[in-house]
Structure 1
Amino acid sequence: MKLLNYSFRCLACLHQNAMNSWEIVHSYAEAACKTLRSHENPTPPASGDKQQVRIWSGKMAGALNLSSTLFLRQLPSTKTPKSSISIRATSRPSESSSTSVGTKENENVGFSSSFSPPPNFKPPEPKRFGVRPDKIFDVLGASLALVFRLGTGIFVSGYSASLVPKNEFPPDKYALEIAGFKVKETSKLGPRPTKPIEIYEFESCPFCRKVREIVAILDLDILFYPCPRNGPNFRPKVLQMGGKQQFPYMVDPNTGVSMYESDEIIKYLVQNYGDGNVPLSLSLGLLTTLTEGFAMIGRMGRGSIYKPSKLPPAPLEIWAYEGSPFCKLVREVLVELELPHLVHNCARGSPKRQELYEKAGHFQVPYLDDPNTGKAMLASHFPGRGSV
């Protein structure tokens, strides 16, 4: 415990410019250490008591994860008029997003009906796997998840790959090329929902990450409503809909089902849109929760605290997948700005890779399409460049 306390102090020193005072850092470190001390030689609750198991594992993951409260100054909460916000989008790739935003009041503090790209905006040419020098450590931090989660969320359900001679592969089809061969990738997907499933969550929550991994594996289109701390729009909406501010919270407009609890959401999704089996990496209980927490250590709570922004009339669309560190950096910004976004998950083996290839003439993620400004951007315009 002395070693852990010392580590917290060292890390706090590195980030002291972002804190009000050393006393605040010390108090948070002490609180985290007390949490760990209270779980020395821990004995988990009985497996039958799901609520107690969830609370206990959450405390352990939260204590082990370097939460943003240790390093980032919390923004003061801003009182905003209560409003009811509704944003809808279609998941059909051949159609443009159909959206609507409504409020009970004529004016919404974060809402703006006027959007335009920056003056003289011109997207650069895409570059695969390129990293800006000032973003190297960000990408490395986001890549820790690949180690702790053993690549969960990189491949879709039923993924398989085979090498095909380049001259035997259709030239208009997306595929990786290796030494004169094309990699033919296939998958076995379940039923597709007609409307995008809605999920309310935020980046640095281990329980939310579990759900993001399963929707990538199932290759589902998801309309995410970010709920960062102090967010004025969607946290109150979750409280209004479900009775408590707990995340993740899922709403399936296809069946009328809504629910809390990450494990229950995962079971629901695999039963309705998969083969009914929860992947092993998401069914290990406490071990899954702890590794999800460790996976986010490198980002130190990014994507957790609200930054004032303008709420757009329509959700942004982004082609991405949970296993990509490049996509992670972009989604952190979307969550902090509380921008609703429709994610077209396209992990390896996803047929949506071909759809993006046809749409953009090139496959590289993350790919952002903003219907509010009419601009679309390949991955090179983002901090980490992109992955394939």
Structure 2
Amino acid sequence: MLTHQIKVVQALASALTEGGRGTTGTPFPKQPKQALKLYEYEGSPFCRRVREVLTLLNLDYEVYPCPRGGKRFRPIVKELGGKLQFPFLVDENTGDRLYESQDIIHHLFKHYGKTGTTPKKYAHYPKIPVLAVAGTVINGLRGGMANSGNQARTAPTQLLELWGFEASPYTRIVRGVLTELELPFIFHNVAKERWQDQGLAKLRLKPGKYVPLQGGKREQVLKVMGDNIQVPYLVDANTGTSLFESEDIVKYLKKQYGE
């Protein structure tokens, strides 16, 4: 328990280095018809930039973890794009395959943003992501290396599904384990759409029964989770398992798919 709580504190400190990016997003996303496919790894500051924008746009996407030392999806990136560089985005809706984080960000705003242009805040990231690197170090470098004992295991037949948002420290812990185990998954962004959504599930700024914005994405998410929205939330259709609580999810993933 203590070890997990330390990880939570590290993940929270890592999120704070980005000044709140990856927390809020539009309640009315422009979801692509075919799922975006992101080849990345949790510990990369450049991948983190892209994930922040995906949360801002509140887009769902498929994640194919490519940690250093990984053997499951890295060869696919080399085959599709010609080099090993991350993040790597495949958008079958437009036919684009993109490497550079800034190019991916422009692409996302162009095709899935409201105005088609990249906001100034996201248009010129520093070439050396000092704060993001610091956040990665604070987070204990998790999600950067493959779990060597798991490389030979076969990936699940059906993609795991994870609900969360980029800046959530609890979600970050789960994504780190998914990366280390090289487990592909669908990431459902549950961005906070307005001030009433701010705060933990049991301690929101607006007290009382949680009511999502009518017609927003969270209203649809509530139908999946029940009477409240809490992240992370994992669904594994391969075993019929549904779990809240990051600690329980981590234990499940390591037991079911770990060494």
State the TM-score, normalizing by the size of structure 2.
0.80
Cα distance in 1, alignment partners of residues 132 and 120 from structure 2: 14
Cα distance in 2, alignment partners of residues 199 and 354 from structure 1: 26
1:336-359 deviation per Cα after TM superposition (whole angstroms, max 9, x unaligned): 100000000011018332223212
RMSD over aligned CA atoms reads: 2.0
State the secondary structure of the residue aligned to 1:322.
Answer: coil
- Amino acid aligned to 2:3: D
1:146-165 deviation per Cα after TM superposition (whole angstroms, max 9, x unaligned): 321110010004xxxxxxxx
- Amino acid aligned to 2:225: A
Runs of 4+ in structure 1 displaced over 4 angstroms?
A: none
How has the CA–CA distance of structure 1 residues 288 and 282 changed in structure 2, closer, same or farther, with 3 Å as cutoff?
farther
- Structure 1 residue 190: deviation in Å? 5.0
| Selected match of 1:151 from 20, 32, 49 | 20
- Structure 1 residue 134: deviation in Å? 2.9
State the secondary structure of the residue aligned to 1:223.
Answer: strand
1:265 matches 2:104: yes
| Selected match of 2:220 from 330, 355, 367 | 355
Contact 1:319 1:365 (C-alpha < 8 Å) held by counterparts: yes
- Structure 1 residue 279: deviation in Å? 4.1
- Structure 1 residue 277: deviation in Å? 3.7
1:382 matches 2:225: no
Report percent identity of matched pairs: 37
How has the CA–CA distance of structure 1 residues 288 and 149 changed in structure 2, closer, same or farther, with 3 Å as cutoff?
farther
- Structure 1 residue 257: deviation in Å? 1.2
Q: Which runs of 5+ in 1 are unaligned?
A: 1-131, 158-186
Partner of 2:239: 373
- Amino acid aligned to 1:228: P
- Structure 1 residue 197: deviation in Å? 0.3
Cα distance in 2, alignment partners of residues 253 and 283 from structure 1: 24
Partner of 1:126: none
- Structure 1 residue 265: deviation in Å? 0.3
Cα distance in 1, alignment partners of residues 108 and 98 from structure 2: 11
What are the residue-to-residue correspondences of 1:1-388 with 2, within 5 Å? 132-157=1-26, 187=27, 189=28, 191-274=30-113, 275-286=115-126, 289-307=129-147, 308=150, 309-349=153-193, 351-361=216-226, 362-379=228-245, 381-382=248-249
- Structure 1 residue 263: deviation in Å? 0.2
Cα distance in 2, alignment partners of residues 198 and 146 from structure 1: 24
How has the CA–CA distance of structure 1 residues 236 and 254 changed in structure 2, closer, same or farther, with 3 Å as cutoff?
same
State the secondary structure of the residue aligned to 1:258.
Answer: strand
Cα distance in 1, alignment partners of residues 70 and 3 from structure 2: 28
Cα distance in 2, alignment partners of residues 288 and 241 from structure 1: 27
Contact 1:144 1:296 (C-alpha < 8 Å) held by counterparts: no
State the secondary structure of the residue aligned to 1:296.
Answer: helix
State the TM-score, normalizing by the size of structure 1.
0.54
Contact 2:177 2:250 (C-alpha < 8 Å) held by counterparts: no
Q: Which runs of 5+ in 2 are unaligned?
A: 194-212, 252-259
Q: Which of 1 and 2 has greater Rg?
A: 1
Cα distance in 2, alignment partners of residues 348 and 147 from structure 1: 16
Cα distance in 2, alignment partners of residues 146 and 372 from structure 1: 31
Contact 1:318 1:367 (C-alpha < 8 Å) held by counterparts: yes
Count of aligned pairs: 223
Moved more, 322-331 or 310-319: 310-319
State the secondary structure of the residue aligned to 2:161.
Answer: strand
